[in-house]
A and B are shown apart, each in its own frame.
Chain A
Amino acid sequence: MAIFSVYVVNKAGGLIYQLDHYAPRADTEKTFSFPLDLVLRPHDERIVVAFGQRDGIRVGHAVLAINGAEVNGRSTADGKDVMEFLGNPANYPVSIRFGRHRLSSNEKLMLASMFHSLFAIGSQLSPEIGSSGIEMLETDTFKLHCFQTLTGIKFMVLADPRQAGIDSLLRKIYEIYSDFALKNPFYSLEMPIRCELFDQNLKLALEVAEKAGPFGPGS
């Protein structure tokens, strides 16, 4: 059971806060000899597996590190092009770490505003009168819970499908937001939240929620 991440989106759809609480590691590191028995292809500023699956490496996984050094987009740690480096037989045997690509901050901004519009469409396509937007979205690997306040701020929590007590956690996050962001005289509305106390209390709340589940009144 785990809580993966928290997003706060303002009423215009802009991401104003994001925290990655827990990221399951599913990376695979393997040593390869020339020629590489996977087809790699550059895609969106990273190198992904386009064909060939073996030992936990799947199509869509990105190259994360070569010989223990993290790659930086399409270039290796010392600035060489990954595709050229892997195309040269002199560099083999080479150890490559594959895994799911971590979201960049730009992608997070984009996904947050994407959810903002999906939320609105969800309420527009409702077959029932007076429906809200998407409150809970279920997939086989995670559940996304969303709580929209009266002022239009959306709090989103990504959690394990079996994690209980997310609804009370969302209200707790709203409380933390009101206490430590809104009451902070240096915080301006609708702008990114950079408040140390907000950070600390949010992390604390996530840990409590993971261990115990629901919050009692006044906790």
Chain B
Amino acid sequence: MTIHNLYIFDRTGTCLHYSEWHRRRQAGIPKEEEFKLMFGMLFSLCSFVNKMSPTDMREGFVSFQTSRYRLHYLESPSGVRLVLNTDLGVSSARDALQHIYSNLFVELVVKNPLCPPRAPVQSELFRSRLDAFIRGLPFFAPRPS
């Protein structure tokens, strides 16, 4: 079980934060392009899921998996989107994402007067606390390779 990377987007699609831990493959495009592609995919996925759903949704899109990784998604009511890529051993990272949003992002970024809204997060405290939290998760284990 391991964690590959984490994206935080605001509601307009700006990537506020990106960090990676065990990422073996890069997308082969500049980071800016990758963020745009990721946000575009999430945006389309949410609208796709809303149209496909047979009944009314509450949370909407939660996660998807491919043969090699699983993408966990959390959207806050204000439109902040958190995306965590893990391997297939992690069945749900919803609590971790919820913690990152409410205890780290809101406390250290939203309430921080030095962090302008809708701009990439520069706060060193947020970065280090986030890194420590992710490294402390039970499913964060270095890959046996």
Contacts and interface: CB of A to CB of B under 8 A. Distances in A.
Interface of A: 4, 23-24, 26, 58, 60, 100, 103, 107, 111, 114-115, 117-118, 121-142, 144, 158
Interface stretch (B51-59, B106-114, B131-139): B51-59
Which of A100, A130, A136, A139 neighbours the largest number of chain B CB atoms within 10 Å of its CB? A139
* Most chain A beta-carbon contacts within 10 A, residue among B5, B34, B41: B41
Contacts of A126: 25, 27, 66, 68-69
A129 to B, nearest CB: 5
A127 B23 contact: yes
B62 A135 contact: no
Interface in B1-41: 4-5, 20, 23-25, 27, 34, 37-38, 40-41
Interface stretch (B42-50, B96-104, B122-130): B42-50
Given A128-B68, A139-B53, A114 B24 contact: no
B37 A121 contact: yes
A141 B56 CA distance: 8
Contacts of A4: 54
B27 A125 contact: yes
Q: Specify the main secondary structure of chain A where it touches its partner.
A: loop
B66 A122 contact: yes
B87 A128 contact: yes
Given A24-B54, A125-B34, A125-B38, A139 B62 contact: yes
Given A114-B44, A121-B41, A139 B59 contact: yes
A124 B63 CA distance: 17
Contacts of B65: 134-136, 138
A132 B88 CA distance: 13
B57 A123 contact: no
A111 B51 CA distance: 8
